Amino acid sequence: MTEPPAPPLLRVQNLCKSFGRKPVLRGINLEFAPGVTTVIIGPSGCGKSVLLKHLVGLLRPDRGEVWFQNTRIDRLDETSLGPIRREIGFLFQQSALFDSMTVGDNIAFPLREHGVEDETIVASRVARVLRLVGLEQCLNQMPAELSGGQRKRVALGRAIVLEPRCILYDEPTTGLDPIRADVINEIILRFSRKLGITGIVVTHDMASAFKVGDRFIMLHGGKVHLEGTPDEFRTCQDPVVRRFMLGEASPEELAALRGSGDDA
């Protein structure tokens, strides 16, 4: 007998968000199952990062609802959001490390912010995280001494140190060469397979997307354009999906470029 699917860890209902007069999210309905890594793709400005920030309460919707399991989080105040945010790690696009702190203190920061006062526990958790991301030797280094790939790995360590159930990855491989990007992909897979973490990955890097993703969502025009498996996306003949995955401009964009002429 087939077991019923697990209830979603995160979900949004009719999510709408505008900035000024510009609508960015136009009624998004999505569910994110536990243990699944979902990749969100789509053109710049379609609302991918805006969606991530709603999932962790960094933005509030104009309309709609955001749920973490059975708790509606879009109406919670900052204090009430604290326990929810312990369950959701966030990897920012530019890593967002504290330049004045060592690697160890950067990773320990969320523990101390959430009231972990026993420095023995802090040191143990930091050491475990550094092993997970392969940077044990960098404990006392400063961010300025690290490469871009290493800084990204420190940021991944900070995202995992509270042992969250979910991690939101905003462009995890941006700015990295293919080899360093693949190291990040392997860490994301390790988090999923070894720790059972639910992943939601916003990316333009299709090689990364197909390596880490169990499920794909494409946003276009502020709405869900397509949702499915990686294979369904590979074989999809929808022109919007095909152009994005192949990195091809639309006929309208090409026509506008030709019409702009040469002003030189």
Domains located in the chain, CATH noted: 7-87+165-225 (3.40.50.300), 99-163 (no CATH)
Q: What pLDDT does 218 receive?
A: 96
Q: What is the pTM of this model?
A: 0.90
Q: What pLDDT does 13 receive?
A: 97
Q: Which residues of the chain have pLDDT under 50?
A: 264
Q: What is the pLDDT of residues 24-42, one digit of tens each?
A: 999 999 999 999 999 999 9
Q: What is the pLDDT of residues 68-122, one digit of tens each?
A: 999 999 999 999 998 999 999 998 877 788 999 999 999 999 999 888 889 999 9
Give the list of residues 6+ apart from residue 25 with CB closer than 8 angstroms, or none: 15, 16, 17, 47, 50, 51, 54, 61, 222
12 forms bridges with which residues in the sheet?
30, 66
Give the list of residues 6+ apart from residue 198 with CB closer than 8 angstroms, or none: 9, 10, 32, 33, 34, 35, 36, 37, 165, 166, 167
In total, the chain counts a number of residues equal to 264
